[in-house]
């Protein structure tokens, strides 16, 4: 099963390589990984998406917790949570299809963030399935290149990851 | 008080209680060496190779339970230290290794003797630090020692750029607990889990206790002995757990696993409850995992959650320090009436006796060739089972585990997890530095001893009189044994057709060399070696093709042991 794991870490040099190194050394799979400061100077938040049976996910969580600069680990898939990913797609858009591209963009509530006489860049946000669906429709029109951020996620409700 | 980084390092070591450092100098640690020169309270032991320095610190840590300290230079010093770090990491040994580094501004420039030490050591240490500012130095050192010795212990590297060791900064002595918000090992067992465990113990009619290195690391031998007595169950130790329970006690059934005893492996295969305490279900122990303890419920006590249900799914996990958890369980077992309803264990013990009757460790010492087992039995007799014993890796290591009984913890030093040939001599040296009044024996092979033999010079320079017994079979014996059994006797490159004259070699190093080639020479050689106040190398020319039995072939179940 696919799991979204949120990891709160000390914002210090080398943390990312500890996490990435752990996955490489133990042969755990990573579908996506994002990292950025978590709102204060001291902590960063890593969101990891991994695939594996229950035993493997249990080991992944335990091994992450064992890394010294890791403050807290939560498997968000265990509860209600919100997932988001951002994608930028550059599509060819010659005269005949410009309207079609804009219509697709509209369906997915995405925005055009750059335009040339024969292309658009579209910004789409949503969970992974929404991004996939959008991409399916855009592909026949000619996708030049794209980039996705990987999932970020938070649990629903009024509680944070660590109780204060 | 304003001090240089180097002085802060030495002061911090003193304040942390360090009295011995094993090291090897070089350009990037010269400031530190200068500070050591001015600090007579710290005894520095100049090893002959950085691997030796780290193994020596490891041996020191294993016998004392304190953090061993090694100091090496940047680049090649750090890379030479790697095998020592990986060895300590696999066996959870508390070490701090200080490594020199090029000045901060040069890091990443392929500077002279630069290595990405933090990158290279990440996966073979518990943690590592690069100190970029002298102001962080004292705190990082305290954290390094704290991390090394608490929780599941392990080696920690502190990488020290040369300019940081020259920069000046205020040093204030700080006492008290180190607090790291992201590092809080669980040490007390969950009381509900402990209660459940005790209930399971008291229901079992075929209980079996299986303990490992965690008991030694936690200094929990007294609690384990109490626990085992209270329960009345048979107990086995892993290779790393030897000495956690007295080997000469009738409840002890020997080591388990690949070269464990028949009775231990059969008992594990037939028990209805397996209590694993500070052991990690290594593949040398479990054999074929699907048939490991097939009829047992498993309780697992371990301080490291990653050890639990990693290889074998357990029914009742208890995360905590074994010393505490055993104390918690003992209190419940001691409570009045607790044991009144425990099933009769006599049928179980009768069954165990029938396995014991196979005498699986039997061998015959004939008139001609010295049997390696006989050497160890004689060493044991003449040291009255009281020596600190270090080993290298191979057949001699297994025979030492089988034939030298340990009644106390921290008398047995062996590289179990990594299986590092070359570990023995420096480890024995570190042990002897820590325990100068004890007899320290090294049981080694003709292959292994050559991997760190240079440390004989260290023994000589610092008067560290360890007694070295080489079971010289002219072979990489353990490799040869596998080739004999699994490759139809094709001895591909396991024959060491040429070896040095170990007696002369010992003499070249200023040590004493002795040789025994016939069975009747074994005892006099050992007696003489024990009397001499110097490092002694005993070259025992043993039967070349003896095998270690019993044996569980790789991939087979524990009850499919090959007996002799
Ligand atoms: C040639 C060769 C042959 C071998 N054959 C055998 C064999 O036949 N039998 C055998 O047993 N081994 C054998 N070994 C050794 C084997 O490879 C492993 O090193 C060994 O079995 C591991 O021992 P352990 O399970 O006690 O774990 P250790 O490596 O000692 O680990 C200790 C465990 O205790 C935990 N722990 C640490 N501190 C605490 C604490 N304070 N509280 C609670 N838990 C704690 C740790 O988290 C860890 O899980 C052999 C090795 C070699 C080189
Ligand atoms: C550094 C290292 N290299 C290789 C091995 C593989 N190995 C395991 S046992 C062994 C043979 C050891 O020979 P010796 O020291 O003579 O001991 P014996 O088995 O003959 O008692 C070898 C090569 C190892 N464990 N460590
Ligand atoms: Mg040999």
Element (H, E) at B325: helix B322-334
Looking at residue B459, its pLDDT comes to 98
B192 SS3 class: helix
pLDDT, mean over chain B: 97
Mean pLDDT of A127-134: 95
Find chain B residues with C-beta within 8 A of A17's C-beta.
119, 122
Give yes or no for a contact between B425 and B452, defined as CB atoms under 8 angstroms apart: yes
Q: Do A58 and B127 touch (CB under 8 A)?
A: no
Residues of A in contact with B89 (CB under 8 A): none
Say if the ipTM goes beyond 0.95.
no
| Cβ atoms B59, B53 nearer than 8 A | no
Give Cα separations from B198 to B192, B231, B450 (angstroms): 10, 10, 49
Q: Which two tokens stand for residue B416?
A: 């179990």
Which residues sit opposite B467 in a β-bridge? B441, B536
Is residue B374 annotated as part of the catalytic site, yes or no? no
Peptide bond into B550 cis (omega under 30): yes
Nearest ligand for residue B450 CA:
2
Of residues B240, B266, B398, B478, which has the active-site annotation? Answer: B478
> Of B414, B410, B439, which is closest to residue B425 (Cα–Cα)?
B414
Span B506-534, pLDDT tens digits: 999 999 999 999 999 999 999 999 999 99
Per-residue pLDDT reduced to its tens digit, B223-263: 999 999 999 999 999 999 999 999 999 999 999 999 999 99
Which of A8, A10, A55, A68 would best serve as a mutation to test chain B binding (most B beta carbons within 10 A)? A68
| pTM to 2 decimal places | 0.97
What per-residue confidence (pLDDT) applies to B285?
97
Pocket probe mutation, ligand 2, options B259, B476, B546, max atoms within 8 Å of Cβ: B476
Known catalytic residue: B366? no
Q: Are strands A2-10 and A70-75 parallel, antiparallel or unpaired?
A: antiparallel
In the numeric block, the tokens 């230079």 are attached to B73
Mean pLDDT confidence for B296-308: 97
Residue B112: active-site member: yes
Q: Over the stretch B157-197, which tens digit does the pLDDT of each residue have?
A: 999 999 999 999 999 988 888 999 999 999 999 999 999 99
B504 sits in which H/E element: helix B502-508
pLDDT for B366: 83
pLDDT digits (tens, 9 = 90+) for A78-105: 999 999 999 999 999 998 899 999 999 9
Q: Which run of H or E residues covers position B515?
A: strand B512-516
Phi-psi region of B232 (alpha: psi -120 to 50; beta: other; left: phi over 0): left
Choose, from B112, B366, B486, B527, the residue flagged as catalytic. B112
Name the token pair of B479.
């490799």
- Which of B186, B277, B282 should be mutated for ligand 1, with most atoms under 8 A from CB? B282
- Contacts of residue A16 in chain B, CB cutoff 8 Å? none
Q: Where are the beta strands (DSSP E) in B491-535?
A: 512-516
pLDDT tier for residue A163 given thresholds of 50, 70 and 90: low
**Minimum distance, in Å, between the CA of residue A62 and any CA atom of chain B:** 5
d(CA B398, CA B391): 9
Q: Tokens 């890791």 appear where? A: A70
Q: Return the residue whose CA atom lies nearest to atom 3 of ligand 2.
A: B421
Q: How far apart are CA B69 and CA B136, in angstroms?
A: 19
pLDDT digits (tens, 9 = 90+) for A118-130: 999 999 999 999 9
Query: Cα B319 vs. chain centroid, distance in angstroms?
Result: 22
CA distance A143 to chain B (A): 39
CB contact (8 A) between residue A21 and residue B309: no
A81-92/A143-148 β-pairing = antiparallel
Cα nearest neighbour of B143 on chain A = A68
Chain A: give the shortest CA distance to residue B470, in Å.
37
pLDDT digits (tens, 9 = 90+) for B540-551: 999 999 999 999
Our CA-based measurement puts residue A106 at a distance from the nearest CA of chain B, in whole angstroms, of 45
pLDDT at B558: 96
* CB-nearest partner of B127 from A13, A17, A68: A68
B134-168: string of b/e by CB count within 10 Å (b at 16+)? beebbebbbbbbbbbbbbbbbbbbbbbbbbbbebe
Length of chain A: 164
Show the ligand 2 pocket: residues with CB < 6 angstroms. B 392-396, 419-422, 445-448, 471, 473, 475-479
Asked whether residue A164 carries a pLDDT value surpassing 80, the answer given is: no
Residues with CB under 6 A from ligand 1: B 91-92, 152, 212-214, 217-218, 238-241, 255-260, 278-280, 282, 284-285, 302-304, 307, 321-322, 393, 397-398, 416-417, 419, 478
The partner residues of B301 in beta bridges, in order of sequence, read B277, B318
State the angle between helix axes of B322-334 and B191-203 in degrees (0 to 180), rounded to the nearest 10.
Answer: 60
Please state the rounded mean pLDDT for residues B550-563.
Answer: 94
Question: In the annotation, is B402 catalytic?
Answer: no
**Tens digit of each residue's pLDDT (9 = 90 or more) over B101-153:** 999 999 999 999 999 999 999 999 999 999 999 999 999 999 999 999 999 99
Closest CB to A21 among B122, B147, B309:
B122
Yes or no: say if B8 and B138 are a contact pair by the CB < 8 Å rule.
yes
Which of B51, B90, B101, B162 is catalytic? The answer is B162
Query: Would you call B9 helix, strand, or coil by DSSP?
Result: helix
Residues in chain A with CB shorter than 8 Å from the CB of B122 are 14, 17-18, 21
Contact B309/A25, CB-based, under 8 Å? no
Each residue of B462-493: pLDDT tens digit?
Answer: 999 999 999 999 999 999 999 999 999 999 99
Nearest-neighbour CA in chain B from A66: distance (Å) = 8
Distances (CA, A) of B127 to B9, B13, B143, B159, B207: 18, 18, 10, 11, 38
- Atom 14, ligand 1: which residue's CA is nearest? B416
Among the bound ligands, name the one nearest to the CA of residue B451.
2
Both ends of chain B: CA-CA distance in Å? 68
Ligand 1 atom nearest residue B304's Cα: 47
pLDDT computed for residue B437 by the predictor:
98
């Amino acid at each position: 099963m696919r799991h979204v794991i949120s990891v709160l870490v000390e914002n210090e040099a080398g943390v990312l390589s500890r996490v990435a190194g752990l996955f490489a050394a133990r042969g755990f799979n990573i579908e996506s990984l994002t990292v950025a400061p978590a709102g204060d100077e001291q902590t960063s938040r890593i969101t990891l998406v991994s695939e594996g049976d229950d035993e493997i996910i249990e080991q992944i969580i335990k091994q992450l917790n064992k890394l010294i600069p890791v403050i807290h680990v939560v498997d968000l898939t265990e509860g209600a949570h919100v997932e988001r990913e951002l994608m930028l797609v550059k599509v060819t858009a010659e005269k005949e299809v410009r309207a079609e591209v804009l219509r697709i963009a509209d369906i997915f509530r995405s925005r055009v963030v750059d335009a040339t006489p024969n292309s658009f860049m579209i910004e789409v946000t949503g969970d992974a399935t929404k991004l996939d669906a959008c991409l399916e429709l855009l592909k026949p029109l000619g996708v030049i290149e794209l980039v996705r951020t990987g999932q970020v996620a938070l649990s629903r409700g009024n509680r944070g990851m660590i109780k204060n | 008080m304003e001090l240089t980084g180097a002085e802060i390092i030495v002061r911090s070591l003193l304040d942390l209680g360090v009295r011995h450092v094993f090291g090897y100098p070089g350009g990037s640690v010269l400031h530190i060496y200068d500070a050591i020169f001015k600090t007579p309270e710290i005894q520095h032991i100049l090893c002959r190779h950085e691997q030796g320095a780290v193994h020596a610190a490891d041996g020191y840590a294993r016998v004392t339970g304190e953090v061993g300290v090694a100091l090496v230079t940047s680049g090649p010093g750090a890379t030479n230290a790697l095998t020592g770090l990986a060895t300590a990491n696999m066996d959870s040994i508390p070490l701090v290794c200080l490594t020199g580094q090029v000045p901060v501004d040069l890091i990443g420039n392929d500077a002279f003797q630069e290595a990405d030490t933090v990158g290279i050591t990440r996966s073979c240490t518990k943690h590592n630090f690069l100190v970029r500012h002298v102001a962080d130095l004292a705190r990082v050192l305290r954290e390094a020692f704290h991390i090394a010795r608490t929780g599941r212990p392990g080696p920690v590297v502190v990488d020290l750029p040369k300019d940081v060791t020259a920069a000046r900064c205020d040093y204030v002595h700080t006492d008290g607990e180190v607090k790291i918000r992201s590092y809080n090992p669980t040490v007390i067992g969950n009381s509900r889990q402990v209660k459940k465990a005790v209930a399971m113990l008291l229901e079992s009619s075929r209980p079996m206790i299986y303990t490992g290195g965690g008991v030694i690391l936690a200094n929990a031998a007294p609690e384990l002995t109490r626990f085992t007595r209270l329960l009345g169950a048979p107990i086995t130790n892993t290779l790393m757990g030897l000495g956690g329970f007295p080997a000469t006690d009738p409840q002890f059934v020997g080591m388990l696993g690949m070269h464990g005893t028949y009775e231990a492996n059969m008992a594990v295969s037939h028990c209805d409850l397996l209590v694993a305490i500070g052991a990690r279900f290594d593949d040398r122990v479990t054999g074929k995992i699907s048939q490991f303890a097939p009829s047992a419920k498993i309780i697992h006590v371990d301080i490291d959650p990653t050890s639990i249900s990693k290889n074998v799914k357990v029914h009742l996990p208890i995360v905590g320090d074994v010393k505490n958890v055993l104390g918690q369980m003992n209190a419940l077992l001691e409570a009045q009436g607790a044991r009144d309803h425990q099933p009769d264990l006599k049928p179980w013990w009768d069954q165990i006796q029938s396995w014991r009757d196979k005498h699986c460790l039997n061998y015959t010492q004939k008139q001609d060739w010295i049997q390696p087992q006989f050497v160890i039995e004689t060493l044991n007799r003449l040291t009255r089972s009281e020596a600190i014993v270090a080993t290298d890796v191979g057949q001699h290591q297994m025979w030492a585990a089988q034939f030298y009984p340990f009644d106390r913890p921290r008398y047995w030093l062996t590289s179990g997890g990594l299986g590092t040939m070359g570990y023995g001599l420096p480890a024995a040296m570190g042990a002897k530095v820590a325990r100068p009044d004890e007899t320290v024996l090294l049981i080694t092979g003709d292959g292994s001893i050559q991997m760190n033999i240079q440390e004989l010079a260290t023994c000589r320079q610092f008067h560290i009189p360890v007694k070295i017994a080489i079971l010289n079979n002219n072979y990489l014996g353990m490799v040869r044994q596998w080739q004999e059994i699994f490759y139809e006797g094709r001895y591909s490159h396991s024959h060491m057709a040429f070896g040095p004259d170990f007696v002369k070699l010992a003499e070249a190093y200023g040590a004493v060399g002795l040789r025994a080639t016939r069975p009747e020479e074994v005892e006099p050689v050992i007696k003489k070696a024990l009397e001499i106040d110097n490092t002694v190398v005993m070259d025992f020319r043993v039967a070349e093709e003896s095998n270690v039995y019993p044996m569980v072939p790789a991939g087979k179940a524990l009850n499919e042991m090959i007996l002799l």
